């Protein structure tokens, strides 16, 4: 595993840390003991801050489940959303599962469809115990997963955030028909009942899309995603608005689509850009960790030789990065790394085995100071040798 520190946007390498390829022995072989068949399952893993697994569970293995997001629930348990897929690449219905504090399923629900699969889904627990799921529609469920209402939205939503007044903000990609352009990022503000208060579609001259959203400490919003470029990979595209969705600034960086953004304790911005393909992120081999100030000005950049999907700030100001690592024999291992506040690698771990492909997708700090990670485990034998192969 190699981290390369770059101090200038022009890419002049002034310092580097080179590590030998990480081995699974440095991490652990996760034991999803309740999942032994071919196909895919959504996984939940609880870890301490040093990367030691406290427990592991697999869910939805009989349905071909893949994870997209995990959140804490107000009773100390967890809720995870993902999609079902029979072939490992195309998406089927949305899959939602609620568990207790030990990862045991309380209920499971499937509904709707997720399309396109590579844009993900938003998930938001609510103070009343219910949930918001954002995909092709905005859906509110009660604490038992029963449908309360659905709302049409401008496009395919990829993230949803609870606003400071109890409403919602959602972001994603809106389909458009302009010369050479098929999608624009959108940002919609709704009240607590799902009624639209305002909606903004950010038009450009190239395909662009939203993947992640946060409400910043000044009451505005920061929308991250990707923009089509003239080179092989899409670029990171950031849009900062005020509290009414009016554009304040816009930035484009040549470091792959922004999969996740966080606002750090000191008011800065950290984003991770990666080329995430398929419902399990397979074949994505590197990522970029970028630090900006509150006005979107570049501060530092780190290249990561792993497909990073999510990140979380730790109490010491460092970062936990999660995703997948393409290891020996073309097997994908779930990946976890810890950096300091300036992106310098402190340690990293790989988890899994050569028999499956494993990946971490989403991370949240738990109420007891540990971390919950959602991911997927895939046994490809049935795809290549069974009835899924076509």
Q: Phi, psi (5° rounding) for residue 330?
A: 65, 25
pLDDT at 131: 96
Task: Please name the fold of domain 2-7+14-385.
Answer: Methylamine Dehydrogenase; Chain H (2.130.10)
Angstrom distance (rounded) from CA 66 to CA 29: 19
Residue 2 three-state SS:
strand
What are the tokens at 111? 């509904």
Cα–Cα distance measured from residue 361 to residue 118, given in angstroms and rounded to the nearest whole number: 12
The full length of the chain comes to 390
Residues 243-258 have pLDDT tens digits of 999 999 999 887 788 8
Q: CB 247: neighbour CB atoms within 10 A?
A: 12
Instruction: For residues 220 and 249, give the distance between their C-alpha atoms in angstroms, rounded to a whole number.
Output: 11
Nearest C-alpha neighbor of 122 from the set 213, 215, 257: 213
Taking only the tens place, the pLDDT of each residue in 288-334 is 999 999 999 999 999 998 989 999 999 999 999 999 988 877 788 99
> What are the b/e assignments for 68-80, b being 16+ CB within 10 Å?
bbbbbbeeebbbb
Mean model confidence pLDDT for the chain: 82
Predicted model pTM:
0.85
């Amino acid at each position: 595993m190699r981290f390369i520190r770059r101090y200038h946007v022009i890419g002049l390498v002034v310092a580097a840390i080179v590590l030998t390829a990480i081995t699974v022995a440095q991490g652990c072989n996760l034991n999803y003991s309740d999942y032994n068949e071919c196909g895919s399952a959504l996984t939940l893993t609880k870890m301490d801050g040093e990367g030691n697994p406290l427990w592991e569970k697999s869910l939805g293995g009989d349905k071909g489940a893949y994870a997209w997001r995990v959140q804490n629930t107000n009773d100390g348990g967890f809720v995870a959303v993902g999609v079902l897929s029979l072939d490992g690449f195309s998406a089927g219905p949305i899959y939602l599962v609620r568990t207790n504090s030990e990862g045991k399923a309380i209920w499971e629900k499937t509904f709707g469809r997720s399309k396109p699969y590579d844009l993900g889904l938003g998930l938001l627990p609510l103070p009343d115990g219910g949930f918001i799921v954002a995909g092709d529609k905005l859906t509110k469920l009660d604490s038992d997963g029963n449908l309360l209402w659905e709302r049409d939205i401008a496009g395919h939503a990829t993230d949803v955030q609870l606003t400071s007044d109890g409403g919602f903000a959602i972001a994603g990609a809106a389909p458009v028909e302009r010369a050479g352009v098929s999608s624009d990022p959108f940002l919609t503000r709704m009240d607590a009942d799902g009624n639209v208060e305002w909606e903004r579609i950010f038009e450009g001259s190239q395909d662009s899309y939203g993947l992640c959203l946060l409400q910043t400490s000044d009451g505005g919003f920061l929308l991250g995603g990707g923009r089509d470029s003239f080179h092989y990979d899409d670029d990171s595209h950031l849009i900062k608005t005020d509290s009414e969705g009016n554009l304040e600034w816009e930035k484009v960086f040549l470091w792959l689509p922004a999969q996740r953004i966080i606002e750090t304790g000191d008011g800065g911005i950290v984003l991770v850009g990666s080329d995430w393909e398929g419902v399990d992120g397979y074949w994505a081999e590197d990522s970029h960790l970028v630090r900006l100030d509150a006005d979107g000005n570049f501060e530092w950049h780190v290249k990561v030789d792993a497909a990073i999907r999510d990140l979380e700030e730790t109490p010491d100001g460092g970062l936990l990065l999660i995703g997948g690592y393409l290891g020996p024999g073309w097997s994908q291992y779930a990946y976890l790394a810890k950096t300091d506040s300036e992106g310098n690698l402190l340690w990293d771990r790989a988890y899994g085995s050569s028999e499956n492909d494993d990946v971490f997708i989403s991370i949240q700090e738990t109420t007891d100071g540990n971390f919950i990670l959602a991911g997927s485990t895939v046994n490809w034998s049935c795809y290549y040798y069974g009835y899924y192969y076509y």
